[in-house]
Homo-oligomer: A and B are copies of this chain.
Amino acid sequence: MKSNSVDVEPSALLRRKLTAVADLPVSSLALLDQLSWQISSIPPRTEFVAEGDEPSRCCLVVDGMVASWNYTQSGDRQIQSVYLPGDMPDLMSLHLKRMDHFIGSISACRVAYVSHEDVERVCRTSALMNGALWRETLIDAALYRTAIIRNAQLDAAERLAHFLCELFHRFTAVGLVHERQFPFPLSQELTGQVLGLSVVSVNRAFQTLRSQDLIVSAKGQIEILDGPGLETVAEFDPHYLHFRD
């Protein structure tokens, strides 16, 4: 029986994520066991961190999909990034006191909270862990940079293709891809808010990719039929994800 959930133990999940990017010694990784987590279940489409907040804790996505966004004056929402299990959407709050954006759930999800104090203690104890967490925030930044390029240089179908390639690689890194399928809980409306497109354009972009037999989408899942083909359409180069291998 395949499953889209992962190890519920937050420290183990984080260990896995950090290891996907860099080779850390066991002695450093063991420090993660000193972190005290508090697990919380969150309904779909719920903001749980708001712009202007000054959090005293960070969260780790355990399950489901999380996103960060902002609003324009006309009330439109622009999603900046999505976060998968193993990601820490507000790790930046460790050093930027005031949130400059919102964070919320896309699907129903579970997040694990850890106090800034705990994280800071780990960082002070181990320069390697300090570096590893810093690196996580730098990879987030690399994703943002790539989103800038994606939205500026690619047309609707290419943009969607690129986004799906990114998700495929990121889900693969945390072991959530089964038979070339991964969770895709975003409605076309929300997908549009990620890609800077209207719902109508997203719908037609999906049709384009489906008609080229690149993907199949059904029931909140995406199946990649032709990975290389999709990456060609998207001009996708996974280097910016900074995964090992």
What separation, in Å, do the CA atoms of A113 and B173 have in the docked complex? 35
This chain: copies in complex: 2
Q: Is there an interface contact between A145 and B96, defined as CB atoms closer than 8 Å?
A: no
A125 to chain B, nearest CB (A): 11
Partner of A135, one of B72, B95, B127: B95
Q: Which of A124, A144, A148, A242 has the most CB of B within 10 A?
A: A148
**A137 at interface, CB cutoff 8 A:** yes
- Residues from chain B with Cβ under 8 Å of A147 in the complex: 144, 148
What separation, in Å, do the CA atoms of A73 and B158 have in the docked complex? 13
Partner of A138, one of B51, B92, B235: B92
Q: Is there an interface contact between A78 and B152, defined as CB atoms closer than 8 Å?
A: yes
A147 to chain B, nearest CB (A): 5
User: How many A residues touch the partner, as a band?
Assistant: 35 or more
List A70-101 residues whose CB lies under 8 Å from chain B: 70, 72-73, 76, 78, 80-81, 92, 94-96, 98, 100-101
Closest chain B residue, CB of each to CB of A238: B100
Q: Is there an interface contact between B72 and A235, defined as CB atoms closer than 8 Å?
A: yes
- Residue-by-residue, is A143-173 near B (CB-CB < 8 Å gives 1, otherwise 0)? 0110111011100000000000000000000
- Residues from chain B with Cβ under 8 Å of A152 in the complex: 78, 151, 196
What separation, in Å, do the CA atoms of A142 and B151 have in the docked complex? 17
Some 30 contacts from A to B, beta carbons below 8 A apart, are A68-B145, A73-B235, A80-B148, A81-B145, A92-B141, A92-B142, A95-B131, A95-B138, A96-B135, A96-B138, A96-B242, A98-B239, A100-B145, A100-B239, A120-B127, A123-B130, A124-B127, A130-B130, A134-B134, A134-B137, A137-B138, A137-B141, A138-B141, A144-B144, A144-B145, A144-B148, A147-B148, A151-B152, A152-B196, A153-B196
